A and B are shown apart, each in its own frame.
Chain A
Amino acid sequence: MSEDHLNKAIHTLKERFGLREAEIQKYPPALLVPAEQVIAVCQTLNDEFGFNFLSDLTASDYYPEQEPRFHAVYNLYSHEHNTRICLRVPLNGDSPTLPTVEVIYYNANWHERELYDMFGFDITGHSDLRRILMPADWEGHPLRKDYPLGYEEPQFTFNYDDIDRRKHKARYEEA
């Protein structure tokens, strides 16, 4: 692990983009990045500091908090320097929007589709924004905290009226 390299990268990003460190993240070291700077920050990390590998892209929902309601979490890795860095992007509850980074890291494509599917993020500029794990006609975004767990009949039993009734009950009365 090259600590110096990581510190230099963090220092440069803080100076250039005015970023703060995210205290919640214990490992790897994380920076809070506004959504509009994500591409520029990723580009800098990729071009200047060799973070050439998007290891993970996910999100966390802090419902009922609204500002910010979500954090998108990018985990980047540098093969050359063997270091990891994390970017946390706070997003609002009413219209969570992220720019796509699939031009820099090709594998972001499916991760971003998963965010769209599971959290309902709008990914601007994405080449193929469809649901990935849930069926194409699914309603709602399952990993949001206000999405109920349970009371869902298996979808392919064709008891649609029953499912709709229970879904409604679960979503509006018990959630």
Chain B
Amino acid sequence: MSETYEVTLEELKHLVSERALSGETVLLNMGPQHPSTHGVLRLLLELDGEVIVNCVPDIGFLHTGIEKNMEAKTYEKAAVMTDRLDYLNTIGNVLAYSLAIERLAELDVPPRAQAIRVILVELQRIASHLVWLGTHALDLAAMSVFLYCFREREAILDILEMCSGQRMMTTFFRPGGLWRDVPADFELAVRRFLRSFPARIDMYHALLTKNPIFMDRTRNIGRINAEDAIRWGLTGPSLRGSGPSNDIRKTQPYSGYEQYDFEVPTGTNGDVYDRYLVRMEELRQSLRIIQQALDMLPVGPVRSNNRKYVPPPRAELGTSMEAVIHHFKLWTEGFELPKGAIYSPVESPRGELGVYLESDGGPFPQRVHWRTPSFVHLQALPVLSKGHLVADLVGIIGSVDIVLGDADR
């Protein structure tokens, strides 16, 4: 290898129309540093005037080899890397990973840990939706919404920091429960957020929902029908905007979601506007779940008592030889999972976040694969954007809510 290798048009010929080769249409490069591509996403656009004829996404700029790296770490250490995948849903990633281990090892999680998991994951869902809303509105030239959204997000990040010491990369969940119990003023902080946030949602609605400019730029843009959406692998709010009410929290409940009463909002048109409405309603539903979980928050331990997977409490180390042995083994070798493979999906703010975890019986994973919603949703971008104006493309990208760290892994 001596000089940089450039991909030629010859190699991409099958992705653009014949008109591009004769120069009738224009090929335009968008990104990878374009602010409205939400990260480092490069799009090769074929344009007829201002109309998009073809769109070829090019990803991989944020590829960090997390799946490969996880194979070289013990299960508990690999959990730290999960935060770096989807950096807006850090706590949801580690939940997906912990659940896969718990399901494979048949490890129990105490009820208090499950309730706190639900509260934090729903808070994270709100935080993620706030970033989506802020940037989506910013792309469509509504600056103020962005600032308000980030103000509310701060409150959630403060709660995460209170629990784990970190604002974003928390790794607060561990296989078998939580890292530690939440602090005493956790409940107060969450309740304060629950009180203030509904009025904020009303404010966002007042700023955007009936705003004629916003409606013009989102209605009938990027439409996809339910059947195509499923074939293209859309999940989460992006799918629900088209009609199907598929939500893994309902269809395959985990962490005790079956005990909470909440609705799954759906749209009808499958356009940018409907996907916007679905996510806005999800903010309210998440608040409902948090409220219920907080009201019936059980007391008790927050980590499983299974010493083969979970280290003993610090206090036991002074009195029990067995505890010392378990502690030593867990922090030197790590635990061993039974041989087997599992696919474990959860509902992330973006859609179906699946972990394929395979164990060969040793202390390292044989294979960890992340089925990330952003990766799958980006494929549908050419279908969604065909025939629309370049200016609408930023709205479409915003409406499928991608995170490039999630897509590139």
Which A residues are closer than 8 A to B by beta carbons? Answer: 1, 24-28, 30, 52-56, 58, 60-61, 73, 75, 79, 82, 84, 86, 105-107, 109-110, 127-128, 130-137, 139, 142-143, 147, 149, 160, 163-164
Contacts and interface: CB of A to CB of B under 8 A. Distances in A.
A142 B68 contact: yes
B341 A26 contact: yes
Contacts of A84: 343
A130 B15 CA distance: 12
Contacts of B233: 53-55, 105-107
Contact of B60 (A28, A105, A132, A164): A132
B230 interface: yes
Interface in B346-390: 352, 354, 356, 358, 366-367, 369, 371, 375-376, 378-380
Interface in B323-362: 339-345, 352, 354, 356, 358
B259 interface: no
Contact of B356 (A24, A56, A139): A56
Nearest to A143: B68
Given A25-B342, A107-B232, A136 B7 contact: yes
30 contacts: A1-B252, A24-B341, A26-B340, A27-B344, A52-B231, A54-B233, A55-B343, A55-B352, A56-B354, A58-B371, A60-B366, A73-B341, A73-B369, A75-B354, A75-B371, A79-B246, A110-B376, A110-B378, A110-B379, A132-B59, A132-B60, A133-B59, A133-B63, A133-B408, A135-B60, A136-B7, A139-B1, A143-B67, A143-B68, A147-B68
Given A26-B104, A86-B343, A160-B1, A79 B369 contact: no
Interface residues of B, number: 48
A108 to B, nearest CB: 8
B1 to A, nearest CB: 5
Given A79-B246, A149-B68, A164-B1, A55 B231 contact: no
Given A56-B343, A143-B68, A163-B1, 5 more contacts: A60-B341, A110-B378, A130-B11, A134-B60, A134-B63
A62 to B, nearest CB: 8
B65 interface: yes
Nearest to A86: B343
Nearest to B69: A149
Closest 4 CB pairs of A and B: A107-B233, A137-B5, A56-B371, A58-B369
A147 B68 CA distance: 10
Interface string B8-35: 0001001100000000000000000000
Given A24-B340, A75-B343, A137 B1 contact: yes
A25 B345 CA distance: 15
B111 interface: no
A17 B333 CA distance: 43
Given A26-B103, A143-B68, A52 B230 contact: yes
Nearest to A53: B230
B14 A27 contact: no
